[in-house]
Every structure is written in C-alpha cells, then in structure tokens.
Amino acid sequence: MSNLIQLNDDIASIAENLWVTVQLPPSNVEARKQAGKVVQFKLTGEATVSETQIADTVIPATGKIIVPLSVFIARKDELLTRISNGEVGVWIDTHEVLADLVNDQADLNVLPIIAVHVERFADGRIFSLGTLLRKRYGFKNELRAIGDVLRDQLFFLKRSGFNSYLIRADRSANDALASLKDFTAPYQGAVDEPRPVFSRYNRTA
C-alpha cells in the first residue's frame, strides 16, 4: 500500500505515488565542518554535494522524477524537454538555500512538485522552508515532505504549506491521516489559513 498522503481541497487521502525520487550516490568526501562566517551555521556539519556525486547520479530515462537541487542546477541541459513536459520536480535538503533554486529557476511553477527532505523529524527548518516556498516564492503546485516524516509533525507541515506527505516507510499512512485534524481553529495565521483567529472570528462575545 502507498505511504503517500495528499491533501486536496482540505481533504486528505492516501494516494498513489507517481513520482520517483532520484537519490544522490553516497559521498566519500568529508562533511564540511566550517565555512565562511556568515554562512557558517547553514553548513556546519552537513555535507555539501560533490561534483562527482552530481555526475554519478543516475537519472531514470523516462517517467516522472524528483531530482536533487544540485543535480537540477548542474544538469539542467539534459532535463530541458522533460521539464517542459512537466515530468521533473526538485527536492531540497533542509540545510540547502532556497535562493539557489530561485536564482536558477525564476518561475517555480514550471515545476509540478517540490519536495523537502527532512533527515530527522525534529528538524524544524522544513516548516520555514515550506512557508517561504509558498509565501515568498509563490509556489502553487504540490509541496511534499519526504524523509523522516511522522504523523505528529503532519499538522505543522500542513500549516506550513505542505499538501503531500510521504510517511516513513515503517509507519502507517492510514493511522497518520487523523493527525491532520488535531486542531480545529489554531490561533495564528500561517500558510494554510493566513488570518489569525482574531481576524477570523468575532471573539468579543
């Protein structure tokens, strides 16, 4: 059974996964521990993708694919036809920089899907990334959470603009569905409902 939950008009259901996520080959380069002062905290402890990894990434010849950001940027020429056919999406890691994507691909809505990969469920950067993709960069298509995606984060993911969740393989997507409804009327405005509670309801009563 599929482990993908999709949200359409606020109705969540288990859906078939039509997209193949293209993985980078494992790196044998040491993780970069330090970088320039200003970007230090973005990169600390996290591996940067090497040229070899990008070159060695195996892209399936046909079908719908979600490729790593680094591959999307470096090997765009190979993908041009498929991009215009709507067969290519991009995935980013939580430590990657959205500006890199936007500088390369000004109109994000050319992409039918963007996925954000979260390595550990406790990494809350995914929520800011979703929010920025929706609000700052106006991305309207499918926004998917992949990786260590667990039901207790779904409500927050939904509020941060994600409408597609690939639940970790060893957990039941069916069980997870319920958590999208944890709270009926949250306090603050966010992506799914921009108005805070005080603008949505008359609370003076």
Partner 1 sequence: MYKYDKLDQQIVDERVAQYRDQTRRFLAGELTEEEFRPLRLQNGLYIQRHAPMFRIAVPYGMLSSRQLHKLGDIAKKYDRDYGHFSTRQNLQLNWPKLEDVPEMLAELATVEMHAIQTSGNCIRNITTDQFAGIAPDEVIDPRAMAEIMRQWSTFHPEFALLPRKFKIAVSGTKQDRAIVQAHDIGMEFYTDDADKLAIKVWVGGGLGRTPILGSVIREHLEWQHALTYCEAIIRVYNLHGRRDNSYKARIKILVKALGIEEFKNQVEAEWAHLKDAPNTITEAELARVSKYFEAMPYENLSAHDASFDAAIASNPAFAAWAKRCVHVHKQAGYRAVTLSLKPHGKAPGDATSDQMHVVADLAAQYSFGELRVSHEQNLILADVKLSDLYSVWEKARAAGLATPNIGLLTDIICCPGGDFCSLANAKSIPIAEAIQMQFDNLDYLHDIGDIELNISGCMNACGHHHVGHIGILGVDKDGSEWYQVSIGGKQGNDASLGTVIGPAFSADEMPGVVQKLIDIYIKERTPEELFIDTVRRLGIAPFKAHVYAKNEEIVSV
Residues in contact with partner 1 by the rule CB under 8 A: 37-38, 40-42, 44-46, 121-125, 127-129, 131, 135-136, 150, 152-153, 155-160, 179, 182-190, 194-199, 201, 203-205
Least Cβ distance, residue 155 to partner 1 (angstroms): 7
- The contacts of residue 43 (CB under 8 Å, 6+ apart) are 32, 35, 95
From 79, 66, 30, 71, select the one nearest 53 (Cα to Cα).
71
- 20-45 burial code (b ≥16 CB/10 A, e <16): ebbebeeeeeeeeeeeeeeeeeebee
Which residue number, 82 or 135, has a Cβ lying nearer to partner 1?
135
Which residue number, 110 or 198, has a Cβ lying nearer to partner 1?
198
Which residue number, 107 or 119, has a Cβ lying nearer to partner 1?
119
d(CA 40, CA 168): 30
Least Cβ distance, residue 8 to partner 1 (angstroms): 20
Least Cβ distance, residue 132 to partner 1 (angstroms): 8
User: Is there a contact between 70 and 24 (Cβ–Cβ < 8 Å)?
Assistant: yes
Least Cβ distance, residue 63 to partner 1 (angstroms): 33
Which residue number, 2 or 188, has a Cβ lying nearer to partner 1?
188
